[in-house]
Structure 1
């Protein structure tokens, strides 16, 4: 069975909604290295349709990306959960129609599956008990408004904590 890890950039007050409070290089080279380590372990990248379309409109056209994110995203197998998307237009991509398809994907052989962004999908995955691990890059920012990662109470067990010179901390949790 494959682990499904939710990786999110998050503020100290729990907001994951995109805004101008972070950028790919804001955490410094150490955060980028931690991201690269996670990318090396994952052979599946899971998103919802909106996040997928936003990423598809940006990452494939990046030709001078020192972070390595564009190279990873262009080659990793992407899975997009959508009831309406017909032709993904970014290979290799498989369209999953619902959470039952996500369950079957987790049961198949392979490496880790990572879900990033996709707030609505992430909330559905949490509610369905499909998330095995949370990798939270906590930025030293409070924004006071915006959508939060957890829609309801959760009991988690801290697996590791890494702090970076930029003030960002990587907290890894699993369910108790």
Structure 2
């Protein structure tokens, strides 16, 4: 059985939407080599990438066009099997991609063998995954910034179990990775 891992870039006050330009996926203003290595480590453990339609379409427009990406994101996203949850998308236009029609399809995907299923962004899908009890791990790359507004990871989420910290790792940039797994009742 595969683990479904929510990986989010998040502010100290829990905001995960990127409005206000607080997060740039290719920001080269600081030394982020240790952070890039941690992300690469996580990519090596994943063989599926899950998103909602809006995040998928934004990524499809941005990542394939990147030619000087030193983070490895472009190569990873172009080769990993992508799954997009959408009731309306017909032609994903970015291979390899499979369209899933709902959370039952996500449950079925988790039944397979192999590496992790990773999801990121997806401001509508992630709360639905949390509410449905489908998340096996949270990897929160916590940025030292407070926005005071924006969509929060657990803002409207129902059915969030108690979480157990499994890793805390800091990076030179001030970002801290917090990994949590839900405790089983």
Aligned to 1:126: 130
Comparing 15-24 with 89-98, greater Cα deviation is found at: 15-24
Report the TM-score when normalising by structure 1: 0.97
Q: How much has 1:82 moved relative to structure 2?
A: 0.1
- For 2:172, the equivalent position in structure 1 comes to 165
3-state secondary structure, aligned to 1:170: strand
In the alignment, does 2:110 pair up with 1:109?
Answer: no
Residue 173 of structure 1 and its aligned partner are, at CA, apart by 0.2
Do residues 175 (structure 1) and 179 (structure 2) align? no
The alignment's C-alpha RMSD in Å is 1.1
Equivalent in the alignment of 1:6: 6
Partner Cα separation in structure 1 for residue 93 and residue 110 of structure 2: 24
Residue of 39, 42, 51 corresponding to 1:47: 51
After superposition, residues 1-176 of structure 1 pair within 5 angstroms as 1-19=1-19, 20-24=21-25, 25=27, 28-150=32-154, 151-152=156-157, 154-176=161-183
Report the CA distance between 1:126 and its aligned residue. Answer: 0.1
Q: How many residues were matched structurally?
A: 176
Alpha-carbon contact 1:6-1:114 (below 8 Å) kept: yes
Contact 1:136 1:171 in 2 (8 A): yes
List gaps (5 residues or longer) in structure 2: none
Deviations 1:15-36 (A, max 9, x none): 0011311222467111111111
Alignment check: 8 A CA contact 1:78 1:93 kept: yes
Query: What TM-score, normalized to structure 2?
Result: 0.92
